[in-house]
């Protein structure tokens, strides 16, 4: 056991976060995200049964966001005409504000298929059991 490590972070996820370098990205994916096909060229870490907000909070406890880019946190935009609401994004912004002085200003959005393309180049994808839709979030690592 280690002190001050959020228990939701598995040894595999901790190792991955440690291996990542400046500008590497990690995706925390909702339950609908095609993790295995999009992540066939990167690490896919299973965290089934957990939601994105609790994993985001735990990861940001250890993971510095990139200060050299304007938006180190990226969300998947809702498709035009899709009547879906995304209240989970407000949770994300509150969590980010706890860990980064930029708060919601650190968060950007990109079009759904561009998000998939960007995710294909991520260092890792964390597969969760999150049921909210458009709940995927990509983080770009900074320096300590």
- CATH number for the domain harbouring residue 107: 3.40.1650.10
Domain housing 121: 22-140
Mean pLDDT score, 30-54: 97
Collapsing DSSP states into helix, strand and coil, what is residue 12? helix
Residue 9 lies in a domain: no
Contact 16, 44 (CB under 8 A): no
Per the annotation, the verdict on 22 as an active-site residue is yes
Per the annotation, the verdict on 116 as an active-site residue is yes
User: What pLDDT is attached to residue 102?
Assistant: 97
DSSP state of 103: G
Which residue is catalytic, options 24, 30, 66, 100? 66
In the chain, the percentage of residues whose pLDDT exceeds 90 is: 97
- Is residue 1 scored above 80 in pLDDT? no
Q: Which of 124, 51, 62, 119 is nearest to 91 (CA)?
A: 51
d(Cα 13, Cα 69) in Å, to the nearest integer?
24
Q: What is the pLDDT of residues 89-118, one digit of tens each?
A: 999 999 999 999 999 999 999 999 999 999
User: What pLDDT is attached to residue 134?
Assistant: 98
Task: Please tell me the pTM assigned to this model.
Answer: 0.97
Residue 92 lies in a domain: yes
Q: Which of 84, 96, 95 is nearest to 132 (CA)?
A: 84
Which residue is catalytic, options 22, 82, 90, 117? 22
Domain count, the chain: 1
DSSP state of 65: B
């Amino acid at each position: 056991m280690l002190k001050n490590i959020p228990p939701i972070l598995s040894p595999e996820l901790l190792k991955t976060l440690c291996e990542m370098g400046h500008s590497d990205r990690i995706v925390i994916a909702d339950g609908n995200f095609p993790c295995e096909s999009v992540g066939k060229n990167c690490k896919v870490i299973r965290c089934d049964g957990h939601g994105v907000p609790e994993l985001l909070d735990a990861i940001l406890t250890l993971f510095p966001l990139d200060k050299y880019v304007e938006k180190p946190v990226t969300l998947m935009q809702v498709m035009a005409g899709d009547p879906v609401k995304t209240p989970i994004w407000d949770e994300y912004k509150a969590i980010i504000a706890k860990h980064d002085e930029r708060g919601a200003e650190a968060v950007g959005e990109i079009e759904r298929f561009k998000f998939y393309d960007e995710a294909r180049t991520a260092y890792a994808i964390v597969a969760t059991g999150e049921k909210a839709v458009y709940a995927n979030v990509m983080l770009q690592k900074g320096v300590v």
